[in-house]
Structure 1
């Protein structure tokens, strides 16, 4: 049931706006750039991460979704903040308000995807002050928060 939870909910409510829980990770390279993935569904950029499956914790979802979106195995360094403002409208008509738990993560294995998958067109690192077109305002808010967070640690 866990893997098809969101599909099951959408089967019941159609495109009705719903609230969903998500988790995402901030991974920096040695130059202080953040890893983003170009999404197949919306063709814009977001942090690796995604929806919790039924029974999953935010931290578990972050690690699982990061692997799915990027190919990297990550470990959580620390929890950063909850973001709960705004909505996303997907090309298929689905509308969601996401409650996103943002984590700072570090790589512990795997390797960056080298080919397109069903969720990720490609991956790249970006400077916080030179970001590509983003999925939504919440993604922009998370990246702005992370930029301030890491700048305060210098």
Structure 2
């Protein structure tokens, strides 16, 4: 069956719509976070994407992580819900994404090593040196993750 968002876009074209999305942050042993270099912009973001009809945020995060990174993960903590961002994709699609951003833990699998239709490459980044994100929502998720990690290690960060 055709993905939900493609069916909706056929009906509304590039008009602004509200979509629900989920994404995840996977940390390695050095507290570096896994990010995805995107095919649509060439910039970086967290593995994630839009919910299919009837899917929960947590299940979408798991599905999208598998598609975008090749890994099976499990959401362990909701880090942020963001709903105050609007974006226009390079193809002209306009939207307001409502995103649930999870800290996830590795369960199984191997990182993708070949380019897919959504992922150019995958890489771990230090929380002190972020790459260029493809939009402000992902930059905000990075700040939320850094604040969470700093709080867990006993330091408080500024927003």
Query: Cα RMSD over matched residues?
Result: 0.9
Q: Is the aligned partner of 1:68 residue 2:81?
A: no
Structure 2 counterpart of 1:144: 143
For residues 84-138 of structure 1, give each alpha carbon's deviation from its aligned partner in whole angstroms, at most 9, with x where no partner exists.
1112211111111100001110111110001100110000001122111101111
Unaligned runs of 5+ in 1: none
> Any residues of structure 2 matched to 1:2-81 within 5 Å, and which?
3-81=2-80
Q: Give the stretch that moved more between structures: 54-63 or 78-87.
A: 78-87
Deviation at 1:17, TM superposition (A): 0.8
Unaligned runs of 5+ in 2: 154-159
3-state SS in 2 of match to 1:138: helix
CA distance in 1, matches of 2:15, 2:87: 12
Give the alignment's TM-score, normalised by structure 1.
0.96
CA distance in 1, matches of 2:86, 2:43: 15
3-state SS in 2 of match to 1:38: strand
Structure 1 stretches of 4+ moved >4 Å = none
Give the alignment's TM-score, normalised by structure 2.
0.93
Structure 1 counterpart of 2:157: none
For residues 19-55 of structure 1, give each alpha carbon's deviation from its aligned partner in whole angstroms, at most 9, with x where no partner exists.
1000000100111011100000111100000000000
